[in-house]
């Protein structure tokens, strides 16, 4: 962790986030602080609430309780109804990369990337095209600008998914298991792009099963189980000297 990152101001702070689906309490009071320029990896068993937490951070899910504070933006208190405009303001600050890339199949790569900026953010078409091409260039996909998603490999599709998120110029990038639907030989190219983004100073929250990636790239690792954060800290601590029995058991099972 750089000195600069250590002193970085929180971009996002979540306090006591709770969420139930029916009578299933999926998040049971989760706290999370994401500092500017930092990478937080969220790990934990399947069903522990990682995706629901991530979706709560950008307003795709509305928590039943708790609070979200966004630097320079809205504070959301979920103990009372949150106005739609406030939720939308939250959504505008972040961009999500999904497990399945969710690209529009009948649109070209370039159209997929520019859709959000042009339609949602009202960026002029030419400017959106230029920016999209520069981003595609960066991930080595500029020559695929007119290809359709089905003509790309899974790894290329997911890299376009990342570019689409970057094109929105968010403050915060959220990744929901971005490599878990990929064939093993395609995982590396996506993780490489994510690592570069981290090195460039993007603020990222990454739900992942790629523990090696979390170890190398994350500034902080958060281990969740059954809707609570069991343990969090720098990767070196969580992976090599976990304090909690549940963390030890999880790591033992998957390492
Ligand atoms: P993880 O990402 O750790 O696998 P999730 O957040 O996806 O966990 O899911 C946590 C639990 O919440 C799971 O039991 C899942 O079935 C349930 N869940 C998630 N989304 C919904 C939903 N929209 N409706 C009902 N149950 C849901």
- Please write the tens of the pLDDT for every residue from 164-220: 999 999 999 999 999 998 999 999 999 999 999 999 999 999 999 999 999 999 999
- CA 140, 94, 232, 19: dihedral to nearest 10 degrees? -130
Other CB atoms within a 10 A radius of the CB of residue 108 amount to: 18
Residue nearest to atom 20 of ligand 1 (CA): 52
The alpha carbon of residue 197 and the mean position of all alpha carbons in its chain are separated, in whole angstroms, by 12
Q: Give ipTM to 2 decimals.
A: 0.98
Residue 47 CA, distance from chain mean position = 17
Report which protein residue has its CA nearest ligand 1's atom 18. 21
| Length of the chain in terms of residues written | 255
Tokens of 134: 């520069």
Q: Is the per-residue pLDDT at 227 higher than 80?
A: yes
Q: Closest Cα to atom 22, ligand 1: which residue?
A: 21
- Ligand 1 interacting residues, C-beta cut-off 6 A: 21, 26, 44, 46-52
How remote is the CA of residue 50 from the centroid of ligand 1, in Å? 8
- Quote the CA–CA distance of 238 and 155 in Å, as a whole number: 29
Confidence band (pLDDT; 50, 70, 90) for 7? low
**What is the best residue among 49, 54, 246 to mutate for testing ligand 1's pocket, by most ligand atoms within 8 Å of CB?**
49
Average pLDDT for the chain? 93
Q: 134 CA distance to ligand 1 centroid (A)? A: 36
Rounded to the nearest whole angstrom, what is the distance from the C-alpha of residue 175 to the centroid of ligand 1?
Answer: 16
């Amino acid at each position: 962790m750089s000195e600069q990152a250590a002193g970085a101001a929180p971009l996002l702070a979540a306090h006591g986030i709770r969420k139930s689906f029916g009578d299933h309490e999926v998040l049971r009071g989760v706290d999370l602080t994401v500092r500017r320029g930092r990478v937080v990896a969220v790990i934990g068993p399947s069903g522990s609430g990682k995706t629901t937490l991530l979706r709560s951070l950008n307003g795709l899910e509305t928590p039943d309780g708790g609070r979200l504070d966004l630097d320079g933006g809205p504070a959301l208190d979920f103990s009372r109804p949150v106005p739609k405009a406030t939720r939308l303001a939250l959504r505008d600050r972040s961009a999500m990369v999904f497990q399945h890339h969710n690209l529009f199949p009948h649109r070209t790569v370039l159209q997929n990337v520019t859709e959000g900026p042009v339609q949602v953010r009202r960026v002029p078409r030419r400017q959106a095209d230029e920016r999209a091409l520069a981003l595609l260039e960066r991930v080595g996909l500029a020559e695929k600008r007119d290809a359709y998603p089905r003509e790309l490999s899974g790894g290329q599709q997911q890299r376009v998914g990342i570019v689409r998120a970057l094109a929105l110029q968010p403050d915060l990038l959220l990744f929901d298991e971005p490599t878990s639907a990929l064939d093993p030989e395609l995982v590396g190219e996506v993780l490489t792009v994510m690592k570069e983004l981290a090195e460039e100073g993007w603020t990222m929250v990454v739900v992942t099963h790629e523990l090696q990636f979390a170890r190398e790239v994350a500034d902080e690792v958060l281990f969740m189980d059954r809707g609570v954060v069991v343990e969090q800290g720098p990767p070196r601590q969580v992976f090599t000297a976990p304090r909690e029995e549940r963390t030890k058991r999880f790591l033992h099972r998957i390492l």
